[in-house]
């Protein structure tokens, strides 16, 4: 075997062998030491957000998408929230809380969201575009005084001022007065219609019906209209 002259000194050779024989257990920034395969495995499987280059993280999805960056959870949430808020086929109306001692419609409805501009309200009734197919969801929390067992809430969906009381629900009662917030119980109802080619505006409202006496209180009343088709 021919001789081979090493360009390293004995001290340098010893130092290099020590690095191989005694590798670091975890990677260290700036270190020239060897790393165990276990340390490399753990490091690769524990990559944190801070380890990513800023150019790899997308914080605003409204500017477009690609296949070379990752979206942050904040960017995804913002995108979903904005998309939901801009859904042109969902209209949402909320009434102010109140009480009644006589028959009458729940009033104080205001538009919470209607980006598609296919509904309107006068404060009591929700008007819905002609010639469409929609689902209407009524919801609210109600309670009545225990001295009267006849209060009901009627969820009305109609056209041409005609409706039937097929959606009247008796209100829960309580002996508490004034009423506690927990006394008000949730009542929800959904219905739908198809007014395509009928050229009629549909209407939705919530009506409290009292037969004798007493008081009814309502909270968190909402009417939501979901449009499935518009002719």
Q: What is the pLDDT of residues 53-79, one digit of tens each?
A: 666 677 777 666 777 777 777 877 777
Average pLDDT over every residue of 23-30: 77
Kindly indicate the confidence band of residue 87, based on its pLDDT and cuts at 50, 70 and 90.
Answer: confident
Q: How far apart are CA 120 and CA 140, in angstroms?
A: 20
Please give the mean pLDDT across all residues of the chain. 83
Q: Are 216 and 210 in contact (CB under 8 A)?
A: yes
Query: pLDDT tens digit string along 175-194?
Result: 888 888 899 999 999 999 99
Q: Are 113 and 85 in contact (CB under 8 A)?
A: yes
Give the global pTM.
0.65
Domains of the chain in start order, with CATH, are 10-84 (no CATH), 90-230 (2.60.120.40)
Mean pLDDT lowest for which of 3-17, 146-160, 171-185? 3-17
Q: Are 215 and 173 in contact (CB under 8 A)?
A: no
**Contacts of 71 by beta carbon, 8 Å cutoff, 6+ apart:** 57, 58, 61
pLDDT value of residue 165: 62
């Amino acid at each position: 075997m021919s001789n081979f002259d090493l360009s390293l000194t004995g001290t340098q050779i010893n130092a290099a062998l020590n690095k191989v024989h005694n590798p670091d257990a975890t990677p260290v920034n700036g270190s020239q030491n060897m790393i165990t395969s276990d340390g490399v495995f753990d490091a690769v499987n524990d990559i944190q957000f801070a380890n990513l280059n800023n150019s790899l993280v997308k914080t605003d999805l409204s500017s477009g998408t690609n296949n070379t960056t990752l979206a942050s959870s904040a960017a995804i949430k913002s995108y979903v929230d904005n998309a939901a808020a801009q859904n042109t086929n969902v209209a949402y109306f909320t009434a102010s809380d109140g009480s009644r001692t006589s028959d009458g419609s729940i009033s104080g409805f205001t538009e919470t969201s209607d980006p598609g501009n296919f509904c309107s309200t006068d404060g009591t009734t929700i008007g819905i575009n002609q010639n469409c197919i929609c689902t209407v969801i009524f919801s609210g929390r109600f309670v009545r005084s225990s001295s009267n067992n006849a209060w009901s809430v009627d969820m009305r969906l109609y056209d041409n001022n005609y409706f039937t009381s097929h959606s009247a629900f008796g209100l829960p009662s309580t002996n508490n007065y004034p009423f506690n917030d927990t006394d008000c119980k949730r009542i929800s109802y959904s219905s739908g219609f198809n007014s395509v080619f009928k050229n009629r505006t549909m209407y939705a409202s919530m009506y409290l019906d009292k037969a004798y006496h007493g008081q009814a209180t309502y909270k968190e009343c909402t009417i939501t209209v979901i449009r499935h088709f518009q002719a």
